[in-house]
């Protein structure tokens, strides 16, 4: 049988002879076909997990986590708890977070290239959406490895779905920089003619509300925290109204913040006419 070594050598027992041109071509073809089939057999699954209520997990996500041998996750303890809640078998859990994302992506890529499938999850929600995932996904595409989304919960879509402010067009910013570049981003966002969606921590939410008032002026804001959890809360009002409400209570949980450039008076007619125009264009 011909060796799959593409370098043109055929080894048989103790003797080594140079392959013919045809044998070399066949060996090279056989080698690359084998490599391609190996890569196609391995898949990187991007798996969305619950943002609070564990019953929000999808059936497809459960099946994927059950069948995939390696799970890359931000916090192995939290993912381990999820697996136990779902009564899934123990898996190889690989720590993959913001501080080791690039280095770990290389190691996971090697496992994928070796034919092992990997499921990537974050602590909550959808990976790569203001969570680790980008470097691994990009590297997988570059190496010809199949990447499959296992869709599910996201704090972004959950908040937007219950937002009463005009949200037919919006810009998702995620987390603003803590210091350097923060003001530049806020100026850019305030100049956009659409709603803005941001994420913010409980430690900086009051600061963000002050900044929204400074940079956006007259606007309406929705803030949502603890979505799908027991103490879920959604507040709507002007920046000054929201700051007053939050200042009187203990602030816990990460926030989704939706900023609408519209003033307090509803502009439903304008929004509805825009929606009608969009529907007409698609028909």
CB 252 within 8 A of CB 223: no
Rg (CA), the chain: 25
pLDDT of residue 36: 44
Going from N- to C-terminal start, the domains of the chain cover 9-41, 43-153, 156-268
Domain 43-153 class, CATH top level: alpha beta
Q: What CA–CA distance (Å, rounded) separates 47 from 25? A: 41
Give the C-alpha separation, 210 to 259, whole Å.
Answer: 13
Q: Can 43-153 and 156-268 be said to share one CATH topology?
A: no
Q: How far is CA 102 from the centre of its chain?
A: 16
- CATH 3.40.50.2300 applies to domain 156-268: no
Cβ-contact 171, 195 below 8 angstroms: yes
- What string of pLDDT tens digits covers the 283 residues of the chain? 444 444 444 444 444 455 565 555 554 544 444 444 444 579 999 999 999 999 999 999 999 999 999 999 999 999 999 999 999 999 999 999 999 999 999 999 999 999 999 999 999 999 999 999 999 999 999 999 999 999 999 999 999 999 999 999 999 999 999 999 999 999 999 999 999 999 999 999 999 999 999 999 999 999 999 999 999 999 999 999 999 999 988 899 999 999 998 644 444 544 454 555 555 565 5
Cα(103)–Cα(188) distance, integer angstroms: 32
pLDDT for residue 269: 46
Predicted local distance difference test score (pLDDT) of residue 25: 54
What confidence score (pLDDT) does residue 275 get?
A: 54
Tell me the whole-structure pTM to 2 decimals.
0.78
Number of Cβ atoms within 10 Å of the Cβ of 265: 7
Q: How far apart are the first and last CA of the chain?
A: 61
| Contact in structure between 112 and 69 (CB atoms under 8 Å) | no
pLDDT of residue 30: 45
């Amino acid at each position: 049988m011909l060796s799959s070594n593409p370098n043109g050598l055929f080894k048989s027992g103790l003797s080594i002879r140079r392959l013919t041109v045809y044998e070399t071509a066949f060996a090279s073809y056989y080698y690359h076909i084998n490599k391609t089939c190996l890569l196609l057999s391995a898949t990187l699954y991007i798996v969305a997990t619950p943002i609070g209520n564990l019953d929000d997990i999808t059936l497809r996500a459960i099946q994927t986590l059950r069948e995939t041998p390696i799970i890359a996750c931000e916090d192995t303890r939290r993912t381990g708890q999820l697996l136990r809640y779902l009564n899934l078998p123990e898996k190889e859990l690989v720590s993959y977070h913001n501080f080791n994302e690039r280095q770990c992506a290389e190691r996971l890529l090697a496992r994928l290239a070796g034919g092992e499938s990997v499921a990537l999850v974050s602590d909550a929600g959808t990976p790569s959406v203001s969570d680790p995932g980008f470097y691994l996904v990009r590297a997988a595409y570059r190496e010809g490895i199949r990447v499959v989304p296992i869709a599910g919960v996201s704090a972004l879509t959950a908040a937007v779905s219950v937002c009463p402010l005009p949200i037919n067009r919006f810009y998702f910013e995620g987390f603003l920089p803590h210091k350097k570049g923060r003001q530049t981003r806020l100026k850019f966002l305030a100049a956009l003619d659409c709603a803005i969606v941001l994420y913010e921590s409980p430690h900086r939410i009051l600061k963000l509300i002050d900044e929204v008032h400074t940079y956006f002026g007259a606007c309406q804001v929705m803030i949502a925290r603890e979505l799908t959890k027991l103490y879920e809360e959604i507040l709507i009002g002007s920046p000054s109204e929201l700051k007053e409400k939050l200042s009187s209570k203990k602030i816990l949980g990460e926030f989704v913040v939706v900023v609408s450039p519209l003033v307090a008076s509803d502009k439903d007619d304008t929004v509805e006419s825009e929606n009608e125009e969009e529907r007409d264009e698609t028909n």
